[in-house]
């Protein structure tokens, strides 16, 4: 590969990195990166190989934190499988195997066959369609309503679990209510169809529980996050933290020149790793040190809890005569 080709490849990878950060171009970037691994990785120089691997790791982090729909995960699974087949470094290969496993678990591939209705299982269909690994004898059957509902419930549950935004809760509630209304109207969910026995009750119970679902701590204050210093990894820093030190979020080994954002607890992470985490949490991924939030009620409750704990300790240290034992 000539110098011009290497420069062009580096530009392509950098462009894909930027496209991964936008939802409307994420899937296309993942597909392009998959093709790049297949066609160019083997002949690419080491720096470009490392850049392609870093882009695949970035895609996995975004799937975990932002783009959680099944369509994105399916594209991600193909990328991770292709990358795993091409990577030669043992550690990188192990990481990619872990990404493949995560994607399979999310998509439910390991239990897909067990969840299929009886009439759709291989060997029992009266039609000519055969499944993967066999010759196709006829057209693929249309996607059944149960499959769409399963994907919708899984996606909405993930969104609700990963978010503290009340607007997300309202949106999830609205979508579940629409599914329930369709079930009652008989649109796509026949009331007597054995595939959907108990579905209406399950959705109704979910709607009833959403309002009472305990919410986690709100995300960190945007103003406080903006104040976090960004440091450049130097030889001195590497000597202090030790060779082989990793970003605790993406598990990539730190190298000289890396940008790291430092939290008040002195733990540091790649800015691109820390940003989505603090958009959903207010604590350090390692030690759980809590940063201030923009939620006034949450901060007041923390102060009340702190005062209650101090009073409790004071009462425990009180002597019978009304005096205090100082420790």
In the structure encoding, which two tokens stand for residue 215, read together? 């919410």
Q: Which of 17, 117, 24 is nearest to 71 (CA)?
A: 24
- For residues 272 and 65, the answer to whether their CB atoms sit within 8 Å is no
Q: Is 78 exposed, middle or buried (0-12, 13-18, 19+ CB in 10 A)?
A: middle
Helix (H) or strand (E) holding 288: none
Percentage of the chain modeled with pLDDT above 90: 23
Q: How far apart are CA 71 and CA 189, in angstroms?
A: 23
Residue 77 banded pLDDT, cuts 50, 70, 90: very high
Domain 222-317 has CATH 3.30.40.10: yes
Terminal CA-to-CA distance of the chain, rounded, Å?
A: 71
Where exactly are the structural domains of the chain? 3-112, 222-317
Q: Note the pLDDT tens digit of each residue in 255-311.
A: 889 999 999 998 889 999 999 989 988 999 888 899 999 998 888 888 888 888 888
Provide the whole-model pTM.
0.37
Query: Distances in Å between the alpha carbon of 138 and those of 127, 131, 141?
Result: 8, 11, 9
Radius of gyration of the chain (CA): 26
Q: What is the pLDDT of residue 270?
A: 92
- Nearest 5 degrees, angle CA 108-CA 114-CA 117? 110
Which helix or strand (DSSP H or E) is residue 230 part of? Answer: strand 230-232
* Average pLDDT, integer, range 23-31: 89
User: Which H helix or E strand runs over 232?
Assistant: strand 230-232
| Residues 104 and 77: beta-carbon distance below 8 Å | yes
DSSP β-bridge partners for residue 318: 324
CA distance 259 to 270: 6
């Amino acid at each position: 590969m000539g110098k011009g080709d290497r420069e062009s490849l580096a530009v392509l990878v950098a462009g894909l990195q930027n496209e991964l950060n936008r939802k409307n171009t994420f899937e296309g970037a993942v597909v392009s990166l998959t093709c790049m691994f297949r066609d160019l990785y083997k002949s690419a120089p080491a720096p470009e190989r490392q850049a392609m691997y870093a882009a695949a790791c970035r895609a996995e982090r975004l799937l975990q934190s932002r783009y959680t729909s099944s369509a994105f995960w399916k594209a991600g699974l193909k990328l991770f499988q292709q990358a795993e087949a091409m990577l030669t470094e043992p550690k990188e290969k192990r990481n990619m195997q872990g990404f493949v496993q995560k994607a399979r678990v999310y998509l439910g591939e390991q239990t897909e066959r067990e969840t299929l209705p009886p009439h759709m299982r291989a060997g029992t269909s009266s039609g000519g369609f055969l499944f993967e690994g066999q010759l196709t004898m006829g057209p693929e059957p249309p996607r059944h309503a149960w499959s769409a509902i399963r994907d919708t419930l899984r996606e909405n549950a993930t969104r609700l679990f990963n978010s503290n935004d009340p607007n997300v809760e309202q949106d999830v509630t609205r979508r579940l209510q629409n599914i329930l209304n369709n079930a009652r109207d008989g649109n796509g969910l026949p009331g007597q169809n054995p595939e959907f026995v108990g579905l209406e009750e399950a959705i109704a119970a979910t709607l009833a529980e959403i309002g009472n679902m305990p919410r986690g701590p709100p995300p960190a204050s945007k103003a406080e996050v903006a104040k976090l210093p960004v440091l450049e990894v130097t030889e001195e820093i590497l000597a202090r933290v030790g060779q082989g030190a990793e970003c605790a979020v993406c598990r990539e080994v730190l190298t000289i020149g890396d940008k790291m954002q430092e939290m008040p607890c002195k733990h540091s992470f790649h800015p691109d790793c820390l940003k989505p985490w603090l958009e959903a949490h207010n604590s350090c991924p390692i030690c759980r040190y809590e940063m201030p939030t923009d939620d006034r009620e949450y901060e007041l409750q923390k102060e009340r809890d702190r005062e209650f704990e101090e009073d409790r300790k004071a009462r425990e240290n009180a002597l019978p005569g009304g005096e205090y034992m100082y420790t």
